[in-house]
Structure 1
Amino acid sequence: MGLAQTGAGDRLVAAIDAPAGTAGQPAPAAAPAPAATTADAAATVTPAPAAAATPRLGVMTMQPGEIFWERFGHDAIVVVDPASGAATSYNFGFFDLDEPGFLGRFVRGEMQYMLVALPLQQDLAVYREEGRGVFIQWLDLTPAQATRLAQALAEAARPEHARYRYDYFTANCATKVRDALDAALDGQLHRQIAGRSRGNTYRSEAVRLASPAPWLWLGFDLGLSRHADQQLSRWEEAFVPMRLADSLAETRLADGRPLVAATQVLLPHRIAPEPAEAPRPWWPWALAGLALAAAVLWLGALHPRRLAAIALPFWLLGGLLGALMLFLWLGTAHRAGWGNENLLLFSPLCLLLLPGGWRLARGRDGGRLFRGVLSTVTLGAAGALLLKWILLFSQANQPWIALLLPLHLALYVRLRRR
């Protein structure tokens, strides 16, 4: 079976020929490590101090890579066998490239991922080559909890149980690790972090982590609807491996002991660190929008045919992006893209402006249909602002409104009567 590995934004690796649950390629992940308790050059697992019959468990977190699919990090649960000392990485970030209909399910948001068990050193090999840091948080579980979790992972990695329905925000490599730990702790992890929040959202986390790749963060920011703008609890924000690691470091067991007994750096991070949180002011976008609108008004007064020709690529791009957003809403299971208010700024109706715009560029009348559609598109852009400030819709698209509304208005003023 051809397997490839990825995760909540982690990197895609080459297909491998191996039975699920026995071998695989290393998976990427990201997370700034807490203070390490051992030397980071070792890249080996320290001996378990627990009783000989008790497996030792840890959560391994890998820091971001440089390729776009590596930007979001990755994690896995490591189980050290008490008898042999062999360390197995239980990795939820694999999918089957040879699965019939794979591409169609990917587009529709119906991806099937799987849990694969592989040797720890095999899982680490690629990160070492890429310079990505890896650290592990050793868990202070009771013998009963450790044994139960190890057995549950072994059972879940069996081929008949390994598959699960993937969702970028709610069912990925990090949330599966979180849920497995919470089950072993009888819900204690959920109880401690579900009621707390740092004010992050799915959008803010996705845009932050994707920011080194401009086209990637633009895609997230444009494609995510208001469903991605709810404030997340610490439990929900654990879809990011680094956020999960932060919460694990703060979690206490029933008797007050820390859940994480020690943190060990397995590989040093030698490339760019995880992007820091930063505010996103809307006013630079407004200045850019006003500057573009002034240029449109000036050019339209002097060279209306040139303005129409320049407007054609804008309408084509806006119409195609709008059609894609509409498809995500009506034709896929990507819930975070449903009901996207950016459809008012990037309207699929812009495609209907192309014939009339072409006539204007050739010095002819745009036609009644052109004028009607242009009015509708402009009213839709104004409606985005209306929804934001009067009806108080929650989608965080203020920068896009500030950039595009002045441009839509200026095009309407100059081209409506041409």
Structure 2
Amino acid sequence: MKNYLKKISLLFLLACFTVQARAQFEGVQITPDAKISLITCSSGDDLYAVFGHSAVRVQDPTLGMDVIFNYGTFDFNEPNFYLKFARGKLNYKLSAAHFSDFVYSYAQDNRSVFEQELNLTPEQKQKYWLFLTNNYLPANRFYLYDFFFDNCATRIRDGLEATFPDQIKYNIDHLDKDYSFRNLIDLYLPPQPWGDFGIDIALGARIDKEATPYEYMFLPDYLSQGFANATIEQNGQAVQLTGKPVTVFVQQPPAEQPFSLFIPTILCWILFVVVAAVTLLNLKNNRRSRTLDFILFFAAGLLGIVMLLLWFATDHQATAYNFNLLWAIPTHAIAAIYIGRKVVPAWAAKYMAITGLITGILTISWWLLPQEPHAAFIPLGLTLFLRAEYIAWFEKKKELVAAKV
């Protein structure tokens, strides 16, 4: 709670400084002494911050101005905020604040801040300044956020290219590691095992396509590397786009995270072992744990419904074509009601046999599909396969016994 209140306070302070900065840009032209830089911030502890952050600093000592332009802000007071966020319709905006306050907020979160000055002529600085201030106008500052293709990093890259069309060249082929978008975000997720699990469950096959080095720059670290290896045309010659990174603030070494069993993969294997043990006891005692079956398949069905809504009821591109729906089948939520009863309809038993077989085949052949699974899927798939087939077998056995009688 203390950390939460601290972050809310910092956001409030930054909002106040943004209001003060707003009137400073009207009719302002920066001087030749001005400096424009790419600012890159390191990962934070929270999932939303783990991928880092990018912003643009404009410093003009002659005007006494030192301001940060930040494309990564949004308004909590926007009507239907959470619904818009879930549906992919939340507007992010370009904000502006004093640079010292921006750095203070990141220092409070123990996140490093690095600066790369853009190697621009006075004319180019003025041109980019006009782009930024025009982008900051109330009519222009809002945009529909997309984590992979339109975010705080890509807005800076695309804005610079729009200001200087066909004048910036990236020499980044050496960055090519044959990464998919999922591989790229996985680089940042070891400290966030539950975030990694949620992302792999919610995001579909679209993020498993191989990304180009240019597309890597949706991540702030790769934007920094991309700018460091780029050139810009000046008077018919190509010059380096940025200077070497300078450390503005360096984080203290984070505390080593203790080993924890409370991570998705381990817990899912524990679930499989428990369910396998219950199934063996059921087999020995000639019975079926109906409550277990109801909970297991109702939960899988609800999860599938969420995935289906993320695919078809939102504007999120990355949630489409989610092959997790082959095991978290939305109709499980309906079937669970019937398999939780003492008398199971014949169709429900057949449904379990068919879907269980699908899940079993999927578990051993996922590598054939165009989507990389989370490691926890293997025990989850085995668990659902085991219980589905046991339900089908048990109900068939009951039917045969009843027929003999």
User: TM (normalized to structure 2)?
Assistant: 0.80
Structure 1 position 156, deviation (Å): 0.8
Which of 391, 394, 397 is the matching residue for 1:415? 391
Q: 1:129 — aligned with what?
A: 108
Aligned-partner Cα distance in 2 for 1:232–1:84: 42
Find the residue that maps to 2:78 and give its secondary structure.
Answer: coil
Q: How does 1:13-92 map to 2 (within 5 A)?
A: 14-15=11-12, 18=16, 22-23=20-21, 53-81=32-60, 83-92=62-71
**Contact 1:115 1:156 (8 Å CA) reproduced:** yes
Tell me how far apart the structure 2 counterparts of residues 342 and 274 of structure 1 sit (CA, whole Å).
Answer: 33
Alpha-carbon spacing, 1:177–1:152, altered in 2? closer, same or farther (3 Å): same
Q: Which residue of 2 aligns with 1:338?
A: 320
Cα separation, 2, equivalents of 1:352 and 1:271? 50
Inter-partner Cα distance in structure 1 for 2:322 and 2:8: 28
When structure 1 is superposed on structure 2, of 210-219 and 89-98 the one drifting more is 210-219
Partner SS for 1:206: helix
What amino acid does structure 2 have at the position aligned with 1:104? L
Q: In the TM superposition, what is the alpha-carbon distance from 1:73 to its structure 2 partner?
A: 1.2
**Pairs aligned (count):** 370
Structure whose alpha-carbon radius of gyration is higher = 2
SS at match of 2:183: helix
**Counterpart selection for 2:379 from 393, 398, 403:** 403
Residue from 277, 292, 302 that aligns with 1:320: 302
Distance in 2 between residues matched to 1:412 and 1:304, nearest whole Å: 16
Q: 2:137 & 2:179 partners in 1: Cα distance?
A: 35
Q: Which has the higher helix share?
A: 2
Matched residue, 2:246 = 264
Show the counterpart of 1:6: none
Q: Which whole-Å deviations, capped at 9, do the CAs of 1:272-304 have from their partners, x for residues lacking one?
A: 3999xxxxxxx9999889857754552331246
Q: By how many angstroms is 1:161 displaced?
A: 1.3
How far the C-alpha of 1:238 sits from its partner, in A, is 1.1
Equivalent of 2:355, from 358, 372, 377?
Answer: 377
1:95 to 74, 77, 83: 74
- Aligned match for 1:176, one of 132, 152, 155: 155
SS of residue matched to 1:58: strand
Question: What pairs with 1:112-191 in structure 2 (closer than 5 Å)?
Answer: 112-189=91-168
Residues 3-40 of structure 1: CA deviation (Å, up to 9, x unaligned):
xxxxxxx999645665967459xxxxxxxxxxxxxxxx
Q: Does 1:358 align with 2:340?
A: yes
Q: Is the 8 A contact 1:188 1:253 kept in 2?
A: yes
Q: Say whether the 8 Å CA contact 2:171–2:230 is kept in structure 1.
A: yes
Structure 2 residue corresponding to 1:367, chosen from 322, 345, 350: 345
Given the alignment, which residue of 281, 284, 288 partners 1:302? 284
Cα distance change, pair 20–165 in 1 and its aligned pair in 2 (3 A) = farther
Match of 2:180 among 172, 179, 201: 201
Matched residue SS, 1:96: coil
Kindly indicate whether the alpha-carbon contact (under 8 Å) linking 1:11 and 1:67 is maintained by their aligned counterparts in 2. Answer: no
> What letter is aligned with 1:62?
C
How many angstroms does 1:307 deviate by? 3.9
1:174–1:239 Cα contact (<8 Å) kept: yes
Counterpart residue identity of residue 334, structure 1: H
Q: Which residue of 2 aligns with 1:230?
A: 209
8 Å CA contact 2:293–2:340 kept in 1: the answer is: no
Structure 1: 5+ residue runs without aligned partners? 1-9, 25-50, 276-282
2:360 touches 2:382 (CA, 8 Å); kept in 1? no
Any idea what SS the aligned residue of 2:244 has?
strand
Q: TM-score, normalised by structure 1?
A: 0.78
SS in 2 for 1:61: strand
Change in 2 beyond 3 A, CA 1:401/1:199:
same
Counting aligned pairs with the same residue, the percent is: 25
Structure 2: 5+ residue stretches without partners:
1-6, 23-29, 258-264, 395-405
Contact preservation (8 Å) 1:182, 1:190: no
| Distance of 2:244 and 2:49 partners within structure 1 | 26
